[in-house]
Amino acid sequence: MPYHRLESPTQTRVDAQVQTTSGELWGRASSTSTLPSVKAYRNDLPDGARGIEFETAIAPTPGSGTPHEARWYLGTNGVQHIQIGIVDYAVIPISVTKNTQVP
């Protein structure tokens, strides 16, 4: 199943390039949680939208997200943990299939 992230202040062109090169997607805890998670939308990147489309072998955390949004929480099988300073990140391996954030 494809997933996508839309260009935003937390999904910049630089982020898209790093994700394409590294094959990783990172996520921090949301403002209402202490558990880091990677967040993305389900399905293909909409036509004309700026963002990345990707695939991953890691299934989203069961029972999380919505029909339109997928979440991979730290502690889910295959979700890796990286800590930088005092900030924890959830990390999943991805393969970017489309990047429309390139100039």
pLDDT in tens, 10-61: 899 999 999 999 999 999 998 888 999 999 999 999 999 999 999 999 999 9
pLDDT score at 65: 87
* Domain enclosing residue 46, as ranges: 3-99
Domain count, the chain: 1
pLDDT in tens, 61-82: 999 989 999 999 999 999 999 9
pTM of the model: 0.93
3-state secondary structure string, the chain?
CCEEEECECCECHHHHHHHHHHCEEEECCCCCCCCCEEEEEECCCCCCCCEEEEECCCCCCCCCCCCCEEEEECCCCCCEEEEECCEEEEEEECEEEEECCCC
